[in-house]
Amino acid sequence: MAKTSEYGIGEFTYPRGWMMVAASEKVTEIPSEARFFGEDVVLYRGASGRPVMLEAYCPHMGAHLAVGPTGATARHCVQVVGDTIRCPNHGWRFGPDGRCVDIPYSSISIPPTLGLRSWLLQEWHGCIFAWNDPEGGDPTYQLPELPEWNDSRWIRWTIDEVAEMDVHQLELAEHGVDKIHNANVHGHDRLVGHVATFDGHRAQTDSTSEILDPEGAVVAHFTTNSRYAGPALLLAYTEGERPTMFFFAHTPVEDGKVRGFHGVMMGAAGATPDEADREAYESMRAYSLDAFMQDMEIFKRKRPTLQVVQIPGDGPFRRYRKWYSQFYMPRSETARIQEEANGAVTTEGTHDAPWRQAVCEALPAEQP
C-alpha cells in the first residue's frame, strides 16, 4: 500500500470531506469502536437520537470509552447519559463536541480545552457521514440530495460493509474514469461513449457500452452516470425498466487503507415495488457486489499507481488527480484547483476503432 505523500496530491494525509463511518442502524446507545483517519474512535447514539463520533481514549488516564457493556464493568457502568458518554474508568463525561462536561467526584472548574477530538456527523439515507477537515473548518459542500429515497417507487438500499482494503482512496475514486477496464474486467462488449465532467467538488462520468449478440449486432445500450460528491462518495445511476442507483463509499482507516460501504436502490417497474421487483433488486445487489469483487481481484494484487502512464483512449486520470487534490490541500487553494480542473473531457475510441488522437493532454512531457 502507498501513502498519500507518495502520490503527490497534496499536503494533508487524510482528505477534507464527508466520509461514511457507519450504517445508521449500527450506531446505537451502546458505544462501539472503530478506526478512521488513523485514530481509534468511539461511536454512539445519544438519547436525543443524535449520532456522535469521538476520539476513543479518555484524556484523564486513557481508558477506551467503548469498553463497558461487554466487559467486567458492565454491572456498574451506564455509558451514554443523555447525549454524553461516560468513561468506564472514573466516570468523567464528555459531550457530543468532545468537551468534558462532568467530573463527578471533583468540584474543580473544568477547563474548556479538556476533552476529546470530535467530528461533525450527518445522518444521510441510512448512513452516517463524518466531516473530516485537517484544518478543523465547517463543511465546504453538502451531501447530495437523493429524492429517490422518499419516492415510494424505489426500494431503498441495505448497506453491505466491504472488507478493509489496502488501497489508497485516490485509486478507488479515479476508477470511475477508467474507461477501458469496463470491457476487460466487467465484460462490457463495446465502449462507445465516455465523458468525464469536473464541476467544483463533483466529478461525473457518463459512459455508454453496447451489448452485442454472437454475430456482433448491437442488441442493447448500457448507459451509466457515475457521480463522485467529494473524495469518497460515489453514486452511479443506470436507466432501464427498473432504474438503479449504486452507492459506494470509502473512508480511510489508515493512510493507504480504506473501509468500504456498498448499497443498491432500485425503482420498481410499476408504481410501487412488487415481488418481481424485490427479486430483481436482490439479483442486482448480488450482481453489483460481484462487479465490485471483479475490481478487487485487480486491486488486491496490483502495485500502487503512483503515476499513471496515460495514453489516448484511457480516461482522464491526470485531470482526475488534479481535481482530487483539492481535498488534500488547504481550503485557500480550493478555488484555484477547481478552476484548473473544471470542464468536460471526452475519451473516444473502442477496441475495434481505436482513438487516434495524437496529442494527449495528460502525458507528462518526459514520457514517450
* Residues forming the site for ligand FES (CB under 6 A): 58, 60-63, 87, 89-92
Provide, rounded to whole angstroms, the least separation between the CB of residue 64 and ligand FES. Answer: 9
Q: In Å, what is the CA distance from 126 to each residue of 146, 260, 308?
A: 12, 15, 36
Provide, rounded to whole angstroms, the least separation between the CB of residue 318 and Fe ion. Answer: 19
- Identity of residue 228: Y
Provide, rounded to whole angstroms, the least separation between the CB of residue 51 and ligand FES. Answer: 22
List phi, psi (to 5°) of 51.
-80, 145
| Cβ within 8 Å of residue 50, ≥6 positions away | 83, 96, 121
Q: Using a CB cutoff of 8 Å and minimum separation of 24, what contacts does 220-227 make?
A: 221/192, 222/188, 223/193, 226/176, 227/144, 227/202, 227/203
Contact status: 292 vs Fe ion (CB under 5 A): no
Nearer to ligand FES, 91 or 126 (CB): 91
Interface with Fe ion (CB under 5 A), residue from 6, 123, 295, 348 = 295
- Using CB under 5 A as the criterion, what x/- string covers residues 248-287 for binding Fe ion? ----------------------------------------
Q: Alpha-carbon distance 356 to 361, whole Å? A: 14
Q: Which three cell numbers stand for residue 19?
A: 466520509
Q: Alpha-carbon distance 288 to 11, whole Å? A: 34
Contact status: 340 vs Fe ion (CB under 5 A): no
Nearer to ligand FES, 1 or 114 (CB): 114
Nearer to Fe ion, 141 or 292 (CB): 292
Classify residue 141 as exposed, middle or buried by CB count within 10 Å of its CB (0-12, 13-18, 19+). Answer: middle
Q: Alpha-carbon distance 327 to 330, whole Å? A: 8
Give the one entry of ligand FES, Fe ion, none that residue 247 binds, where binding means its C-beta sits below a cut-off of 5 to 8 angstroms depending on kind. none
Give the one entry of Fe ion, ligand FES, none that residue 46 binds, where binding means its C-beta sits below a cut-off of 5 to 8 angstroms depending on kind. none
- Identity of residue 302: K
Nearer to ligand FES, 60 or 331 (CB): 60
Provide, rounded to whole angstroms, the least separation between the CB of residue 54 and ligand FES. Answer: 12
Nearer to ligand FES, 88 or 349 (CB): 88
Q: Alpha-carbon distance 334 to 134, whole Å? A: 14
List phi, psi (to 5°) of 5.
-60, -30
Provide, rounded to whole angstroms, the least separation between the CB of residue 246 and Fe ion. Answer: 11
Provide, rounded to whole angstroms, the least separation between the CB of residue 225 and Fe ion. Answer: 15
- Identity of residue 232: A
Provide, rounded to whole angstroms, the least separation between the CB of residue 299 and Fe ion. Answer: 9
Nearer to ligand FES, 89 or 225 (CB): 89
Nearer to ligand FES, 53 or 235 (CB): 53
Binding residues for Fe ion (CB under 5 A): 295
